[in-house]
């Protein structure tokens, strides 16, 4: 099992209210889920008007598929019209056959927070 994690900061230009920002974030979440079968959530402070810290995760059998999905998602994020991506952090985690502990971290999460929590929760279920 391989888990791909993409963390990014989305800047929503012209948002005059939290409702404007949520419209952009919700639209992005729905589109990426529909087109790539990924899970996406706003993980930062939801009350910031023009900024959304987002995390996206996908699971596949091999790293090649994870790389393809994350590449396609990154391309779409770079071409957004309603917002601008400020930073993108990409993490790929590989585990031994299920059930089991992760065998190797290929690209460690810089601050270790989101990837560690997501891996812990994935192993619990």
- pLDDT tier, 108 (very low <50, low <70, confident <90, very high otherwise): low
Q: What is the pLDDT of residues 10-50, one digit of tens each?
A: 999 888 999 999 999 999 999 999 999 999 999 999 889 89
The model's pTM is 0.71
Structural domains present in the chain = 2-124 (3.30.70.1120)
- Measured from the Cβ of residue 26, the count of other Cβ atoms closer than 10 Å reads 11
Please provide the DSSP assignment of 58-113 as one string: EEESSHHHHHHHHHHHHHHHHT-SS-EEEEEEEEEEE--SSSS---EESS--SS-H
pLDDT on residue 97: 44
């Amino acid at each position: 099992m391989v888990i791909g994690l993409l963390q990014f900061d989305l800047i929503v230009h012209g948002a005059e209210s939290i409702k404007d920002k949520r419209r952009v974030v919700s639209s992005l979440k729905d589109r990426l889920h529909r087109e790539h079968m990924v899970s996406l959530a706003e993980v930062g402070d939801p009350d910031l008007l023009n900024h959304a810290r987002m995390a996206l995760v996908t699971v596949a059998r091999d790293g090649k598929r994870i790389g393809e999905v994350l590449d396609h998602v990154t391309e779409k994020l770079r071409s957004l019209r309603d917002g601008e991506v400020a930073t993108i952090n990409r993490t790929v985690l590989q585990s031994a056959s299920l059930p089991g502990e992760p065998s190797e971290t290929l690209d460690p999460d810089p601050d270790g927070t989101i990837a560690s929590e997501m891996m812990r929760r994935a192993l619990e279920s």
